[in-house]
Amino acid sequence: MSQTRHVPVMLQRCLDLLAPALEATGPRPPVVVDCTLGLGGHSEALLSAFPEARLIALDRDKEALRLSGERLAAYGDRATLVHAVYDELPEVLDRLGIPKVQGVLFDLGVSSMQLDEADRGFAYAQDAPLDMRMDQTTGIGAAEVLNTYPPGELVRILRAYGEEKQAKRIVSAVVREREKEPFSNSARLVELIRDSLPQAAKRTGGNPAKRTFQALRIEVNGELTVLERAIPAAVRSLAVGGRIAVLSYHSLEDRLVKQVLAAGAANTAPPGLPVVPERYQPRLKLLTRGAELPTEEEVAENRRAAPARLRGAERIREDER
């Protein structure tokens, strides 16, 4: 296993953002939720930095849960690992009898393990079966999406989830090729994308297959749909004084996180009220000015940190009943 996969992104900044909520002393130990366990780097650091805290960690990937279980075994019953998608957080907390938590962390996107395991089909740099499912026990893989979706739907996915300007060109080539032989491996798709793009489009923005692979991955895992439910649910699960930190890796995720946190930090009173009643007051206080970026040093040490965007907020008021 390569060492690069174990470098958690913006780790110290995430710990600093969550610290005031997790260092607070009360009758019960503070509870922190790592909604995206992955290989357990952030989780291990949370357990180590906050020795009083109890950790609940979620992942949809059973292999990630197995590997992290070994990594976190030394922390005993302070760590509870759950096979779940992060929008299932309310049900998980309900099952565990935890009404509110003090901290929530999301590290979105693909885990290092999924990128590094060639046979998962996430990485366009190596040939592999076109799967891309984060939970390989359920749902359809990327090959089935490519081989069965109508052309119009494929164009929509590439534009919406990959922000791919050449979506029509790529889809025309995919449709032509899939009639000859269905897609099964990533190398053929990468080659087709290279061949179908104009020269100018190939000169900018890294690997020309990057946007298409991102779009397929988001579609296969329903990532944005899940995130739309997950961030508001996480905010609702925070106790007053609790904090949330979210790491995003592309503009679609970051925009969604920004909207939810900004809405929570706004007062919702009708305009013109001389005094804003309690029920219209903000529920959140933003902890980051816009999105924070990794330092140049961190990017040099861990290239996967480069696109990261970090946003944080603190719960300052309960919802109105």
pLDDT score recorded for residue 61: 86
pLDDT score recorded for residue 123: 63
What pLDDT digit, counting tens, does each position of 13-36 carry?
999 999 999 997 778 899 999 999
Residue 164: pLDDT band by 50, 70, 90 thresholds?
Answer: very high
> Phi/psi class of residue 177: alpha, beta or left (left: φ > 0; alpha: ψ in -120 to 50)?
alpha
The pLDDT mean for the chain works out to 89
**Mean pLDDT, range 165-176, rounded to an integer:** 96
pTM of the model: 0.85
What is 97-135 written as a DSSP string? T---EEEEEEE-S--HHHHH-GGG---TTS--BS---SS
Say what angle helices 41-49 and 11-22 make with each other, to 10 degrees.
40
Q: Using the predicted structure, report yes or no on whether residue 234 has a pLDDT greater than 50.
A: yes
* Contact by Cβ (8 Å): 114, 122: yes
Binding-site residue positions: 40-42, 59, 86, 107, 114
Q: Report the C-alpha gap between 173 and 48 in whole angstroms.
A: 51
* Matching residue, tokens 């939970």: 135
Share of the chain above pLDDT 90, in %: 66
Q: Using the predicted structure, report yes or no on whether residue 251 has a pLDDT greater than 80.
A: yes
pLDDT score recorded for residue 125: 64
Q: How far is CA 100 from CA 161, 238, 243, in A?
A: 33, 5, 11
Q: What is the largest CA-CA distance in the chain?
A: 69
pLDDT score recorded for residue 3: 36
Decide: residue 115, CB within 10 A, 0-12 exposed, 13-18 middle, 19+ buried: middle
pLDDT score recorded for residue 35: 96
- 251: which residues sit within 8 A by CB, 6+ positions away? 163
Domains of the chain are: 3-113+223-315 (3.40.50.150), 118-221 (1.10.150.170)
Amino acid identity of residue 298, one-letter, is E
pLDDT score recorded for residue 279: 83
Q: Using the predicted structure, report yes or no on whether residue 296 has a pLDDT greater than 70.
A: yes
Residue 117: pLDDT band by 50, 70, 90 thresholds?
Answer: low
Binding-site residue positions for S-adenosyl-L-methionine: 40-42, 59, 86, 107, 114
